[in-house]
């Protein structure tokens, strides 16, 4: 019996054009599990249009304006929260940059919805930003929410 009897329901925050959507759908299909994206969000209008064209689901806009009640129950929350605040080619202002604080919007939804699985993505520099304190804050927040959190730097090649 599948751990997801109704199929894998996932939410896709900071969805862009749908990289997580595509990956979650493919992984579920490979495991013989039906999947369905129940919610997506991105602030960029062009990305939302591409996502809607790719997947037939119109993403919500600014995550700061999304109420938790708008996000249906889900099994997996995927999110690539904005990296410009942590990246070596960005401002490196971290949580002092509004884009850096968007992680806490993701944490708000996690805290309210409590999906059993979470997959987050960011840049390699998140690990060393602010002498490791930024990553410690992210990991600590996830653990305070009751998640066993691990991080890895992966080579995209």
**Which residues are the active-site residues?**
83
CB atoms within 10 A of CB 125: 17
CB atoms within 10 A of CB 82: 19
Structure tokens of 7? 């199929």
Structure tokens of 46? 């062009």
Angle at 107 between CA 149 and CA 69, to 5 degrees: 130
CB-based contacts of 42, cutoff 8 Å, min separation 6:
14, 15, 16, 48, 51, 59, 61
């Amino acid at each position: 019996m599948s751990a997801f009897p109704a199929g894998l329901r996932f939410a896709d925050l900071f969805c862009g054009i749908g990289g997580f959507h595509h990956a979650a759908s493919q992984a579920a299909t490979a495991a013989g599990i039906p999947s369905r994206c129940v919610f997506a969000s991105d602030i960029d209008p062009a990305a939302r249009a591409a996502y809607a064209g790719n997947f037939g689901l119109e993403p919500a806009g600014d995550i700061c304006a999304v109420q938790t009640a708008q996000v249906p129950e889900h099994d997996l929350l995927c999110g690539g929260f904005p990296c410009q605040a942590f990246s070596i080619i960005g401002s490196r202002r971290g949580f002092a940059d509004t884009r850096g604080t968007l992680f806490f919007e993701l944490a708000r939804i996690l805290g309210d919805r409590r999906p059993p699985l979470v997959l987050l993505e960011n840049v390699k520099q998140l690990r060393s930003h602010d002498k490791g304190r930024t990553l410690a804050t992210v990991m600590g927040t996830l653990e305070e929410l009751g998640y066993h959190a691990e991080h890895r730097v992966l080579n995209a090649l």
